[in-house]
Amino acid sequence: MKIAIVGGGVAGASVAIYLRSLGVDVTLFEKKQMLIAGPPACHLHAGGNLYPDIDDTQRLQLLRESIEFVRFYPQAIERRPTALAVPVHILLNPKELEERAFILAQAYGDLVAKDSKAKVLGEPEHYVLSFNHEQLQELQELPTPKVPQNHLEWMISFAKEVALTKLKYPVLLVQEYGINIFRLSAIAQLLLQDATIHYGTKVVDAKHEKGGFKLTYEKNGKRYTQHFDFLINAMGFESGYLDDWLGYKKSRLVEFKAAYVARASYRQEHLYPEMIFHGIRGTDRGMAQFTPYSGGYYQLHGMRKDITLFEDGVAKSSEVSSQPKLPQKYIDWIEKGWPSKVALHRTQRAIEYVSRYIPDFKRAQPTPTPLYGAQQIPGANLTLRAAEVSFEGDRYARCEIVKVSSILSMADAILQKLITLGALDPSRQGGRIYPKPLPEAKIDSLAKEIAKARGYPEAMAKIAIPFCHSGQNCVQ
Ligand SMILES: Cc1cc2nc3c(=O)[nH]c(=O)nc-3n(C[C@H](O)[C@H](O)[C@H](O)COP(=O)(O)OP(=O)(O)OC[C@H]3O[C@@H](n4cnc5c(N)ncnc54)[C@H](O)[C@@H]3O)c2cc1C
């Protein structure tokens, strides 16, 4: 059976790795010159603790899927925890957030009890830890370690640098790790180096043909057509075009968003946890997110319309088209880059916003290239976070992940479909194969090249606490 995957973002690349490991031949089309170079992903939502507004069912799904993601891509993970704080002016009760995080800790413990390989987020009893004001004040008296060795040590830099009087208590520390998108891209490219991938190739049309599909694509100014028996739509926020060409109706939202990169070269002495200051999305009190990278670089989100979000940044599909239409200026920014004035202005706003909670961070300097893009959300609910795949008939799969951790549930469902079609032996069911670790030096060097080619500092491609092949965390 000839299978085409259109789109080499994290969804398309991962399903290609997954199916090839089971012996299934796939052809991947990607219009860019590299894989996984679309919107960013810096946070592994291993429990959805960043989203007080989603229900526990979605949070548990994000937890399970994130564990699988870490097992599939261990070398793309930055193993540092996330501190979660509620500012005093935000109407959220941190005690409730703590109770909900304990439900996740219990679920994580149950998963580990069933299968010890699920223990990728540390000890279940350390999944969530709470700190009151006095405890954080005591931590201020301790020296800040260069590389924290335990959970208390991770909170020392937080205790010393955050404006503690602006917070409600308890403050939580959860084992939601970081994802390094440049390393993820490098890993996918290395794992797929022998695969049939048409880089720099844009699929421009698709038609039903003899029970399958005729794809038309353009490469180097020439047009080609090819027949496939099974089609996987992994085109991210542009998935609606393929739906339209084939006459499939699907409602979805598309949201344009951005995070910003600031440099604080004076802050390279020690490691920080990721820090979240909860807020109300879309208002001037939106959540602030501070994500450390190597080399004194920090990725910043502010869930306000003048920082991460945009007044006209959400588009909906319509009766006549499954493709939501964003204002053309955002498509231009995605394809050609941002106007530098806007990028610098918004980065400066992000620095100011985060410095409300981390006062010394106001000394940070903006860098020119935001991390940004548009993401699709199936249906009409903008707060949906866990979604995977949908099908039209037996031969068309539509990847519709909202968070990158959903890729394995998505690939499992596609595998199931292929088994039903007889393209794979039923014994392959549940036969997910986790890739073997790659040489760190190869990932490092390709990830740096990718970061540079995309206009980001090479230092951002490094992780501080690399994966050890023994399965343990490994400190440099
Ligand atoms: C600012 C921001 C921050 C985010 N942070 C996080 C986070 O911390 N954690 C998290 O889990 N998620 C995060 N996300 C969401 C995450 O980025 C997306 O879930 C993820 O990128 C979706 O992957 P995808 O493969 O479905 O789509 P994409 O990554 O968009 O991939 C689609 C691919 O299809 C290609 N393509 C499209 N049309 C064609 C065509 N006609 N022919 C050939 N190729 C085509 C594109 O070039 C692209 O490479 C964030 C998103 C944004 C915008």
CA 402 remoteness from chain centre: 8
Cβ atoms of 33 and 373 closer than 8 Å: no
**Ligand 1: residue whose CA is nearest its atom 45:** 7
* Residue 366 confidence (pLDDT) above 50: yes
Question: For the chain, how big is the Rg over CA atoms in Å?
Answer: 22
Is residue 376 within 8 Å of 326, Cβ to Cβ? no
Buried b (16+ CB within 10 A) or exposed e, 59-78: bbbbbbbbbbbbbbbbbbbb
pLDDT at 331 exceeding the cut of 80: yes
How far apart are the CA of 8 and the centre of ligand 1, in A?
9
What band does 384 get if pLDDT is binned at 50, 70 and 90? confident
36-93 pLDDT, tens digit per residue, is 999 999 999 999 999 999 999 999 999 999 999 999 999 999 999 999 999 999 999 9
pLDDT value at residue 87: 98
Q: What is the pLDDT of residue 357?
A: 98
Q: Which amino acid is at 280?
A: I
- pLDDT for position 385: 75
**Predicted confidence (pLDDT) at residue 468 exceeds the cutoff of 80:** no
- Judged against a pLDDT cut of 60, whether residue 476 lies above it is answered with no
Could you tell me where the beta strands, DSSP code E, fall in 43-188?
77-78, 82-85, 128-131, 171-174, 178-179
Pocket test for ligand 1, best of 238, 252, 281 (most atoms within 8 A of CB): 238
pLDDT tens-digit profile of 160-195?
Answer: 999 999 999 999 999 999 999 999 999 999 999 999
Q: Is the pLDDT of residue 267 over 80?
A: no
Confidence at residue 430, expressed as pLDDT on a 0 to 100 scale:
76
Of the residues 404, 407, 408, 456, which should be mutated to test ligand 1's pocket, given the most ligand atoms within 8 Å of the CB? 404
Residue whose CA lies nearest to ligand 1 atom number 34: 7
- Give residue-wise pLDDT tens across range 94-129: 999 999 999 999 999 999 999 999 999 999 999 999
Average pLDDT over residues 305-313: 97
Atom of ligand 1 nearest to the CA of 235: 34
For atom 37 of ligand 1, the residue with the nearest CA is 235
Probe ligand 1: pick from 184, 246, 375, max atoms within 8 Å of CB?
375
What is the reported pLDDT for 349? 98
Closest ligand 1 atom to residue 37 Cα is 49
CB of 294 closer than 8 Å to CB of 448: no
Terminal-to-terminal C-alpha distance of the chain: 46
* Backbone φ, ψ for residue 80 (5° rounding): -130, 145
Please give the distance, rounded to the nearest whole angstrom, from the Cα atom of residue 404 to the centre of ligand 1: 8
CB-based contact 236:375 (threshold 8 Å): yes
Distance 329 CA to ligand 1 centre (A): 18
- Find the 37 Cα to ligand 1 centroid distance in Å: 8
Using the mean position of ligand 1's atoms as its centre, give its distance from the Cα of residue 468 in Å. 28
Residue 281 in tokens:
């999305």
Q: What is the CATH number of domain 3-38+183-251+380-428?
A: 3.50.50.60
Contacts within 8 Å (CB) and 24+ apart, 308-312: 308/257, 308/258, 308/259, 308/350, 309/255, 309/257, 309/281, 309/282, 310/256, 310/257
What is the location of CATH 3.30.9.10 in the chain? Answer: 80-180+252-377
From 5, 27, 31, 62, mutation site for ligand 1 pocket: most ligand atoms within 8 A of C-beta: 31
pLDDT value, residue 313:
97
> Is the entire prediction scored with pTM above 0.95?
yes
Supply the pLDDT for residue 49: 96
Task: Identify the pLDDT of residue 475.
Answer: 44
Evaluate whether 65 touches 410 at the Cβ level (below 8 Å).
Answer: no
Ligand 1 atom nearest the C-alpha of 14 is 25
Contact by Cβ (8 Å): 414, 15? yes
Instruction: Kindly list the protein residues whose Cβ atom lies closer than 6 A to any atom of ligand 1.
Output: 6-12, 29-32, 38-43, 45, 202-203, 234-238, 257-259, 372-373, 375, 399, 401-405
| Centre of ligand 1 from the C-alpha of residue 462, in Å | 21
Atom of ligand 1 nearest to the CA of 400: 26
pLDDT at 96: 97
Q: Which of 211, 233, 214 is nearest to 224 (CA)?
A: 214
Residue 448 pLDDT: 98
**Homologous superfamily of 80-180+252-377:** D-Amino Acid Oxidase, subunit A, domain 2 (3.30.9.10)
| pLDDT band at residue 466 using 50, 70 and 90 as cut-offs | confident
State in Å: Cα 409 to ligand 1 middle. Answer: 17
For 95, the enclosing helix (H) or strand (E) is: helix 94-114
Token representation of residue 163:
């404006």
In which residue ranges of the chain is CATH 3.50.50.60 found?
3-38+183-251+380-428
Asked whether the predicted pLDDT for residue 410 surpasses 50, the reply is: yes
pLDDT of residue 190: 98
CA 136 to centroid of ligand 1, rounded, Å: 38
Query: In 10 A of CB 194, how many CB atoms?
Result: 7
- Percent of the chain surpassing pLDDT 90: 91
Distance between CA atoms of residues 361 and 356, nearest Å: 9
376 CA distance to ligand 1 middle (Å): 8
Which residue lies with its CA nearest to atom 52 of ligand 1? Answer: 39
